[in-house]
Amino acid sequence: MRTLYRAGELGSDGPINGGRSRLLLETHEVLLPFLSRIVRVIRIAHRFARRLADSIARRTAKGMAWRRARKAFAALAALAASAGFVGSGCRARPAPGGTCRVAEQTVCSARDRALVCEAAPLAPPDPGAATMTAAPPAPARTWTAVPCKGARGCGRAGDEDECDDTLAVEGDACPRSPPLDYACATTLTDALVCKEGRFDLWRHCRGPKGCRVIDGRNVHCDTSLGEPDDPCERAGTFACSVDGKTMLACDGKVLVAASSCRGPKACFFASGEPGAEPHDIDCDDGVAVEGDPCTQARRITCATDRKAELACDGHQYKVKRECRRSDCRIDGTELFCD
């Protein structure tokens, strides 16, 4: 089982179960020795029949007997040829769309491609159809072609084939079977997730480290920077906008503007321990423009022209009062406006 990782909303990483289980060998490889013995027996019978036909032809002068011997020989030859064809078919390599037996088995078809044995998706039930009491038959398993664009491609790992799909393009085929499979886009700017047999966008990795494949198996996505409407998952987590002027918050589905950061420090991450990724976000909202986003009701700041005091109504900043005698300024935790 391989484990993939996803980055937290502020660059922190948490484990997520991903990848695919290692799989068993296809049944036809186990049957080959037995089928080879059958073919050898048929070939021996073929040679015996030919010798018998020649002997009969030599011992009789009648044309009828000769023709009967020829017919017997032809029948036995056809039987041997058909058996040989069946035996050779068992040795054929798997092909896309062909039937298979071992669920989730992987077979390399090229250096950068593989075939995966999986069941076809079940059709959605027809609401107008009568209710069936019997269980539906199990779907047939077929070989599905998947690309292996990771650094290791597709190759032998121990006694089985393994496909490195840690790099992919949105829309690439991927195994339908759980657990979820994650990959970096080949541009290293996005992280992808396998959904219904195709890789789809999971996260934009706009942070400076982008999307990385670590140790050949683990996918890390730097989501410390983002843009409004970027997909996210954990409500209450934050990111800085790419231009640094806005702090973004996750609402459980996408990033939304939480506060403007027009002060000189803009939106930034506090430095952590040496070598560790930063986890604490801060926003310099010492100045703002009327209508700028905010979430903390009654929070006050100065207008960018210093001529007014602004207050947050829980959604945006609005003018609270004008500063007619002196410019608006913030000293420590106090705001002065006269």
Q: Which CATH class is domain 286-336?
A: mainly beta
How far CA 251 is from CA of 72, 206, 223, 232, 235, in Å, comes to 81, 18, 15, 8, 5
d(CA 312, CA 290): 9
Report pTM: 0.66
Q: Per DSSP, which regions of 129-250 are E strands?
A: 141-147, 154-157, 160-163, 167-168, 182-185, 190-195, 198-204, 211-214, 218-221, 225-226, 238-241, 246-250
pLDDT for res 313: 94
pLDDT at 93: 76
Cα dihedral sign, 142-143-147-153: positive
Instruction: Give the CA distances from residue 244 to residues 26, 203, 252, 276, 280, in Å, rounded to whole numbers and listed in that order.
Output: 54, 19, 22, 21, 15
Ordered per-residue pLDDT tens for the chain, 338 residues:
232 333 333 333 333 333 332 222 222 333 334 444 554 656 666 566 667 666 665 665 455 554 565 565 555 555 544 544 444 444 467 899 899 988 889 999 999 999 999 887 655 555 565 555 555 566 789 999 999 999 999 999 888 999 999 999 999 999 888 678 899 999 999 999 999 899 999 999 999 999 999 988 889 999 999 999 999 999 989 999 999 999 999 999 999 999 999 999 999 987 666 655 666 899 999 999 999 999 999 999 999 999 999 999 999 999 999 999 999 999 988 999 98
How far apart, in whole angstroms, are the C-alpha atoms of residue 84 and residue 228?
Answer: 65
pLDDT given at position 308: 96
pLDDT at 119 (0 to 100): 82
Q: For tokens 């997730």, name the residue.
A: 193
